[in-house]
């Protein structure tokens, strides 16, 4: 494909790109991998402090591999999409124990690692090892869709193939790391989702979207995920010094994080919920101190409705529900909780 796109992009990167991030220019595959996993589905502003904390606490893949899972999950707390943290830890252990502590140095081997998709594998391969593998993320898709006028929906099989093929055709094989960083930065600071800087863009003369006034229409998405509601009713059962919690072990959201005892219902908890709680606890020897207002949290394709119900049981040692564990309030900060639960505990229990 003969197009000035690549040369224009490289020139912009050398002359105009002032975007600074602590992982730019990094050659250590571990730190590249760590930054890319953290930035998946996460804004740079949110992910940056997590990257710095992980880098400080776990400076090598060995440090991460040997860390207890609860410690890794606690450090990840608040970042969301917790399967990333579980996969991160599992892959670190695999690299340390089975691969001699060294990352594979080729794309086709990197992509076999758990939690490492084509984008992350391309980033590691190009930035750490100089392999000409094009990255394809949201920024890249947006730039290519607009400049080349691609109307194929990027979230379809055909769209994924088309964008991946075009990205690979355009990469500068002599400086793949610089090219990949440049196109990601370009999408982040020039060809932005809203109000792109088209007048100052070095591509505007060859940009199909700009010349045809279709910038706002591209890129196109086909799928619309149905949002499913779930109703989580958390029981706050504590004494002056201790509280009951449980670990989420099922194959569901927030796996391996901790929570307060949960009753999930198909609909909002009704006013006659005393019987529902009694059935869950196996006893009706409790009173309800307070019935908190409902709050919600939107996940990728679920909307979770939370309610916190404070119970008075007289003696929490009487409750023998499988999976519940009693922890001291002074130790509660050591456990990783989903954000809404953690916020509630900090505001209502640990104050």
Could you give the residue numbers annotated as active site? 36
Cα 302 to Cα 46, 287, 306, 345: the distances in Å are 21, 32, 13, 23
- From the number of C-beta atoms within 10 Å of its C-beta (0-12, 13-18, 19+), residue 331 rates as exposed
What letter would DSSP give residue 226? Answer: P
Name residue, tokens 């710095």. Answer: 52
Beta bridge partners of 291: 309
Count of residues in the chain: 351
Residue at token pair 């992350």: 120
Non-local CB neighbours of 259 within 8 Å, separated by 6+ positions:
234, 245, 246, 247, 248, 337, 338, 341
User: Measured between alpha carbons, how far is residue 240 from residues 83, 190, 261, 314, 333 in Å?
Assistant: 34, 55, 18, 11, 16
Asked if 149 contacts 208 with a C-beta cutoff of 8 angstroms, the reply is: yes
Q: How far, CA to CA in Å, does 263 sit from each of 57, 172, 279, 281, 328?
A: 36, 55, 10, 10, 22
DSSP state of 260: S
How would you write 267-335 as a 3-class SS string?
CCCCCCHHHHHHHHHCCCCCEEEEECCCEEEECCCEEEEEEEEEEECCCHHHCCCCCEEEEEHHHHHHC
- Residue 159: strand, helix, or coil: helix
For residue 96, the tally of other CB atoms under 10 A from its CB is 18
């Amino acid at each position: 494909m003969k197009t000035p796109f690549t040369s224009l992009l490289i020139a912009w990167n050398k002359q105009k790109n002032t975007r600074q991030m602590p992982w730019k220019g990094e050659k250590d595959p571990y730190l590249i991998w760590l930054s890319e996993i953290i930035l998946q589905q996460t804004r740079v502003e949110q992910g940056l402090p997590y990257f710095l904390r992980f880098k400080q606490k776990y400076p090598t893949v060995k440090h991460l591999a040997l860390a207890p899972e609860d410690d890794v999950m606690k450090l990840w707390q608040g970042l969301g999409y917790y399967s990333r943290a579980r996969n991160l830890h599992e892959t670190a252990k695999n690299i340390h124990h089975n691969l001699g502590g060294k990352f594979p140095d080729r794309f086709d081997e990197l992509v076999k690692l758990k939690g490492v998709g084509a984008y992350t594998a391309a980033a590691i391969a190009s930035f750490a090892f100089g392999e000409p593998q094009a990255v394809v993320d949201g920024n890249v898709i947006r730039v290519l869709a607009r400049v080349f006028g691609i109307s194929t929906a990027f979230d379809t099989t055909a769209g994924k193939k088309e964008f991946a093929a075009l990205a690979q055709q355009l990469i500068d094989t002599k400086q793949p790391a610089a090219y990949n960083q440049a196109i990601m930065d370009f999408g982040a600071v020039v060809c932005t989702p809203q109000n792109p800087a088209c007048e100052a863009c070095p591509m505007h003369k060859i940009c199909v979207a700009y010349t045809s006034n279709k910038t706002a229409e591209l890129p196109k998405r086909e799928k619309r995920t149905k949002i499913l509601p779930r109703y989580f009713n958390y029981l706050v059962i504590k004494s002056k010094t201790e509280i009951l919690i449980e670990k989420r072990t099922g194959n569901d959201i927030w796996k391996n994080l901790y929570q307060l005892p949960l009753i999930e219902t198909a609909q909002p908890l009704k006013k006659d919920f005393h019987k529902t709680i009694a059935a869950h606890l196996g006893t009706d020897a409790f009173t309800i101190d307070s019935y908190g207002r409902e709050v919600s949290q939107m996940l990728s394709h679920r909307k979770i409705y939370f309610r916190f119900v404070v119970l008075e049981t007289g003696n929490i040692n009487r409750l023998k529900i499988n999976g519940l564990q009693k922890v001291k309030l002074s130790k509660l900060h050591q456990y990783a909780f989903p954000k809404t639960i953690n916020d509630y505990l900090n505001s209502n229990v640990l104050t």
